Structure 1
């Protein structure tokens, strides 16, 4: 279980502010909405231009689809953006290529933001957000402050939204709301009884869940349209929704500290070129631009040396030292070992 605490400690302690021969285009798959736009503007467009590697950009990234391509022997994707937990589970199933660290330089990365099969692209937090016009601004008297408040429909009446068809970041909040200490969450979830406890807690809230969201873009839109009063989701999506006029706020208290990463499907058709593009896009000068487009922190520490982001923006990132101690770092060990069983149980509950 060392991973869950190592990330927090390393991030907090370490925080400080060519040409390639033409080849077939590589297919890079990410998500849509503000996240996909942020990656295009901060990472992909410039990395492609500077490296000379042409990319085909697609949305709809999914480790399930990645594994289906691998299992069918019809792999068309070269690099896929995924959550770290999804990558851990896919690697355990043999769906991913090993990263060639002789090509991809991670010497300046936070040690827990990459694995043999996944190179971190950004640090984010799974939080719960709420309508600030209804419940108050973050930190104000009476505003929700933890997962127990998210579940408390008497103190905070209103509709909720929760994750659909994906267990990543879904069970931990339920146990935190049920009074489990952060340091014990993954020990509890390592047992079937613990998974059932978490799912029963979500089942308890289910009558008040008006929408089960399927994407980050959907999270933001739910809050923009005031379709729900509270939802789980990713901090950067809500910051961008607020920029667009949504009355939305969130807290890092009890949030899940996590990272997105680039993974390569086993048998990627353009493996060698894709590995070179991964090396390019992992450089600090690209990651330093990301916070201007979405409030996710870099995984390459040197990005803080070259960024021109103002202090206020830097301090809003999940990886800032003042925010890290408030959060629970996700455990990749747990996701690699338990994700399949947990997902089966979770989907069964959703279908009830």
Structure 2
């Protein structure tokens, strides 16, 4: 009897250890964005489930997925990626499919499929935020405040260096809007050779004044250091620098490009079951609203909107800082993910050739 009791105790201890040893590795974009996820998702998820979250960062979490899956050496369980990357990676068979019927309903019982914003649920991805690429400036470093996306490209009117993401996506769209193309017509024009030429011709006008950035933390730093007078940036990074760090930075919403970020699971993720639990937990109504109290990205669920209140400082209202606020949508462009799934390789090849000349 004592022997059996000892065996039982050992077995129970092993089960308890296995449960406590459960973990999930989540790759995101770093900085204030990862912090918002750690506070809203990671910490409460571990507290509720006992599953440890390993947080790792990348300049673009979509990049290592292909290499890891093809090498059969996947270390990422969940990655936070942009919309066009989620669709492309899924089409290439590099992601696990996600049964979105597992996602919790809204507090009033509305099914998740109806509660998420249109497009937020895909075969291999579940959106968490709506964010945007904007441009911003340091009020201490300009004699005249920019108002339109055209001002970003007008170095005669507002002299100084400009910061731009080292990527064709968003850069070409902004160039066309600065050249007078209405947001609704941008992708139709960019589908043509003449439209692409027109975008690059606009970029030519400021090429010698561009400082290129690749990581989301760079634009606020470039602006704070005075290395550029204006820079494109992710809206939440500018909010964090301005509100949390007290930098004199202002967002210009004209010409903003709206996009989703979504959670995906790489094919062959070592902890798929835990990954599914993490995504289910992190994309419920409360968690998405909680993230919006740490950074100014809009929740991907409709039911989360009413729960978005103040920033974590307890005094800053978040609603006006959201890219989806009505006052910020006057000349906004929604990223056309289908366009970029089809054209990404071609336009980035052209972009890189342009950079080299």
Flag whether TM exceeds 0.5 (same fold).
yes
> In the TM superposition, what are the counterparts of 1:300-319 in structure 2 within 5 Å?
300-309=301-310, 312-319=317-324
Contact 1:203 1:349 in 2 (8 A): no
User: Structure 1 residue 236 and structure 2 residue 245: aligned?
Assistant: no
CA change 1:179–1:97 in 2 (3 A) is same
Cα deviation 1:32-85 (Å, max 9, x = unaligned): 111111111122211232233222111114212111112222211111111212
1:43 maps to: 41
Matched, 1:143 2:148: no
The CA distance in 2 between the partners of 1:311 and 1:58, in whole Å, is: 29
Aligned residue number for residue 111 of structure 1: 118
- The verdict on how the C-alpha distance between 1:323 and 1:76 changes in structure 2, with shifts beyond 3 A counting, is same
User: May I ask how many residue pairs the two structures share in their alignment?
Assistant: 326
| Secondary structure of the corresponding residue to residue 312 of structure 1 | coil
Q: CA deviation digits over 1:107-154, x for unaligned, max 9?
A: 321122232222111111111111212336xxxxx5212221100000
Q: Secondary structure at the match of 1:120?
A: strand
Q: Residue 51 of structure 2 corresponds to which residue in structure 1?
A: 53
Per-residue CA distance 1:241-283 (angstroms, 9 max, x = gap): 1121322112212211112111111222222221121000001
Q: Is the deviation greater in 44-53 or in 288-297?
A: 44-53
1:34 to 29, 32, 35: 32
Conservation of the 8 A alpha-carbon contact between 2:309 and 2:319: no
Contact kept? 2:183, 2:331, Cα under 8 Å: no
Q: Distance in 2 between matches of 1:247 and 1:149?
A: 19
Q: RCO higher in 1 or 2 (8 Å CA, sep ≥ 6)?
A: 1
Query: What is the 5 A alignment of 1:81-160?
Result: 81-105=80-104, 106-107=112-113, 108-135=115-142, 142-160=144-162
The offset of 1:24, in angstroms, is: 3.4
Whether the 8 Å CA contact 1:224–1:245 is kept in 2: the answer is no
- Conserved in 1, the CA contact under 8 Å of 2:308 and 2:318? no
**TM-score normalised per structure 1:** 0.86
Following superposition, the deviation at residue 22 of structure 1 comes to: 5.7
**Could you report, residue by residue, the CA deviation over 1:266-306 in whole angstroms, capped at 9, with x for unpaired residues?**
22222222112100000111111222211111111221233
The Cα offsets for residues 191-234 of structure 1, whole Å up to 9 and x where unpaired, read as 3442333233223311011x211111111211222221110011
Residue matched to 1:338: 343
Distance in 2, Cα, partners of 1:48 & 1:109: 24
1:3-37 deviations in whole A, cap 9, x for unaligned?
xxxxxxxxxxxxxxxxx966631110011111111
The equivalent residue for 1:270 is 271
Residue 302 of structure 1: SS of its match in structure 2?
helix
For 1:57 and 1:118, how far apart are their aligned partners in 2?
19
Structure 1's 257 and 311: CA in aligned 2 closer, same or farther, altered over 3 A? same
CA RMSD across the alignment: 2.1
For the pair shown, the structure with the greater C-alpha radius of gyration is 2
Which has the larger displacement, 70-79 or 306-315? Answer: 306-315
- Gaps of at least 5 residues in structure 2 are 1-17, 105-111
Unmatched runs of 5 consecutive residues or more in structure 1: 1-19, 137-141
Report Cα offsets for 1:136-175 as digits up to 9, x if no partner: 6xxxxx52122211000000101111112x3332211011
Contact 1:88 1:335 in 2 (8 A): no
